[in-house]
Structure 1
Amino acid sequence: MVKEMLIQVVSTQSYEEGSEERIEFSTVGNLHKRQGSYYIIYRDSETAGGAGVTTSLKVEPAKVTLNRMGAIDQKQVFERGILHGSAYATPQGSLFLQVFTEDMKIDLTEQGGNITLKYNLFIDDQWVSHNSLWINIKEDAPR
């Protein structure tokens, strides 16, 4: 069964020189469970640079797969202790990204919950930033 949910996203990037970027947004999306995995689908916020982008998350017990489609195309896997790479395609060009997930907490049921990811981001094998991504899914989506 697909449920409409309120999705809150907080993303933080910390750089070597000590600066930090933080993006927060809320949107309405869908949550459903199929064959033991949760699926979360939402449209990205324009303020987060995601105008025209739909994001889907496949949440498994020890792995999160992010799939962005539209103006940005990317499929990124987050798995604790494993380096995963992916192409990140935008209208301006493509990059090869890698993430090394240091920590992952998944507390999700059909009523909602939280996903927390902490990872290092690399572009073309060069460290760029330490990132955290917090996603909160709640049933009280506005009608």
Structure 2
Amino acid sequence: MSNKIIIKTKQYDVDGNMDTIELKVYGKLIEKNDSIYIKYNQREEDMEVKNTIKISKDCIKVIKSGSVNSTMTFVKGEKHTNRYATPQGIFLIDTKVNDFKISNGEKKLEVHLDYMIEIQNMFAGRNKIVIKAEK
């Protein structure tokens, strides 16, 4: 069974400029061992990326494999350095979570993630992500 998944990201740079990215896909929502997994595939041009978002009480992990390989870890109040491998090279991404909230209802899951991001002195800013998945 496929679940409708909407991921909306608002990205703010240090000057306050904002970009919005919205992704609508179908994937799988799996609840297992006190964690929720959202799995979906993304295809852009001739690249395919398999995505898994693992959501637990105090940690969110975003795992990408395929044309992009990465495991990004988000823990409230903690800073993490993550490797992000792309066809263009490997980037180090620093993240520090300001807040996240999880609402796991009977018919839908909603996750709010707010974090600071810095990509190897190329970009610094703040991301606010809302993930909605129908059950």
TM-score, with normalisation over the residues of structure 2? 0.90
Give 2:63's aligned residue: 67
Task: Please give the residue correspondences for 1:1-143 in structure 2 after superposition, counting only pairs within 5 Å.
Answer: 3-44=1-42, 46=44, 51-109=47-105, 111-124=107-120, 128-139=124-135
| Identity among equivalent pairs (%) | 24
Deviating runs (4+, > 6 A) in structure 1? none
Q: CA deviation at 1:79?
A: 0.8
Amino acid at match of 1:34: K
Q: 2: CA distance between counterparts of 1:45 and 1:9?
A: 15
- Greater strand content: 2
Give the structure-1-normalised TM-score. 0.86
Q: 2: distance between equivalents of 1:96 and 1:123?
A: 6
Cα gap change, 1:66/1:31 in structure 2, threshold over 3 Å: closer, same or farther?
Answer: same
**Residue segments in structure 2 that go unaligned for 5+ positions in a row:** none
RMSD: 2.0
Cα gap change, 1:133/1:103 in structure 2, threshold over 3 Å: closer, same or farther?
same
Count of aligned pairs between the two proteins: 135
Stretch moving more, 124-133 or 80-89:
124-133
Verify the 8 A CA contact 2:77 2:96 in the aligned structure 1.
yes
What is the CA-CA distance between 1:44 and the residue it aligns to?
2.5
